[in-house]
Structure 1
Amino acid sequence: MNVISDQRVRRGRKFGQVLDGARKVFMRDGFERASVDDIAREAGVSKATIYAYFPDKQLLFLEVARGECLRQTEEAEAMVTAEVPVRTALTIAAERIVAFQLSDFGQRMFRIVVGEGERFPGLGRQFHDFGPGLIHARLVHHLGSYVAQGALRIDDLDLAADQFAQLCKASIHEKLIFSMTETITPELARRSVHGAVDMFLARYGVGG
């Protein structure tokens, strides 16, 4: 499957309805086994309506992923204003990153993209651009703002944003993908959040 620009996505009155139905089917069946017929049935629309909005199933899948990542990002950013101390802002960001990892949506999306990547070249790259890449871009923006305020000292914002995201996954990501534990406890999640913030500030913080 070729990589297709999301500019081909069209919006209409039942756009959200289609996305809700697609989200349920993709999460249940994966990308390959999800059929347009099943999505139309779940969404309560016709196949013609789906094709009017999304001429390609890959675009529909990516729009579902992008919508969820955008929602998570906007909710986190609504809590961060210019007056919020850097530690508080980083803690909010870390909590959101960890929550996404632990969510059923986040885990299933990761497995779908990894599982289908070989059959559908470009799917992983587009998923990254529409999902994790969006979060990365917002992290770079906010880290840059704190650098400008003198609260952080960072020379390479792209690297620092990647480092922060990876720190948030410590002790969680591998346990999930290798099924080393059935559940991640709230205590372990908090440990990862605060450990990520502490280590990041130890490297990039200014004045303790």
Structure 2
Amino acid sequence: MAALPPNEAKSARPIDRGVARRHAFLDAAREVFLEQGYEAASVNDVVRVAGGSLATLYAQFGNKEGLFLAVAQEQHERFVRAITPDCVDNLPLEQGLQVIGEKFLKTILERDHLSFYRITVGEARKFPQLMQRNVSANADKVRDVVANHIRTTASECEDANTYASYFLSLLLSRHHYRALADTTYVVTEEERRDHVNSAVRFLVRAIRGA
């Protein structure tokens, strides 16, 4: 019998049961935490959704807090991947900022990200490191991309980092805060685009001293 090519052989290997069980617990826990919040959530509900046993869950995560921190880490990584802009090196200042801004705003307004942010704020005293990460680390990646784009396309700008911070603050205003406060608040694609465009025009005028 002929051997499978390396790529096919690799894909044919069964997923480790422990890894598969961990993924199942994380997916179920994310669903439960988003629906019920941290305090009300029960590990029994997680096991009911994911299958398996409490003993296996405790062996992998230690307790409910350990499970929540693991879910938070996965959520953080998912968020960072989602907000990371595509390459805008070939675009002029305004167009590049528009692309970056639309992707960032679309991501932060997604229901799951808003829900997890509310949980993080509510549990800030218990998990201060999560709040710090949401406030700073999540935005740092986008801020760096914005600052680099400004340096590349607006050499006259002497403080790209400060202008990049202003840009993200403009994006977060209005829609993000209202969406956090009101779960029924909906922002259309056109409204997102217009909001980003207003922020871009404001920033570009400031950079160019107009």
TM range, normalised to the smaller chain?
0.7 to 0.9
Q: How many residues align?
A: 192
Taking a change above 3 Å as real, the CA distance of residues 96 and 61 of structure 1, as seen in their structure-2 partners, is farther
Q: Alpha carbons of 1:173 and 1:142: their partners in 2 closer, same or farther (altered >3 Å)?
A: closer
Whichever residue aligns with residue 180 of structure 2, its letter is I
1:22 corresponds to which of 25, 29, 37: 29
Greater C-alpha radius of gyration = 2
CA contact (8 A) 2:124 2:131 kept: no
TM superposition score normalised by structure 1:
0.73
Residues 36-62 of structure 1 show CA distances to partners (whole Å, capped at 9, x for unaligned) of 111122122322332333224334334
- Give the TM-score, by structure 2 length: 0.73
Corresponding residue number in structure 2 for 1:183: 186
SS of equivalent to 2:19: coil
The counterpart of 2:109, out of the listed 84, 94, 102, is 102
Work out which of the residue numbers 156, 159, 172 in structure 2 matches 1:155. Answer: 159
TM-fit CA distance, 1:29: 0.6
User: How many Å apart are 1:154 and its aligned residue?
Assistant: 4.6
Q: Which residue of 2 aligns with 1:43?
A: 50
Show structure 1 runs of 5+ residues with no match.
Answer: 1-10
Q: CA RMSD in A?
A: 3.1
Moved more, 187-196 or 59-68: 59-68
3-state SS in 2 of match to 1:14 = helix
Describe how 1:167-182 pairs up with structure 2 within 5 A. 167-179=170-182, 182=185
Change (3 A) 1:38 1:167: same
Deviation at 1:105, TM superposition (A): 0.9
Q: Which has the higher contact order (CA 8 A, sep 6+)?
A: 1
Cα distance change on mapping 1:13 and 1:201 into 2, 3 Å: same
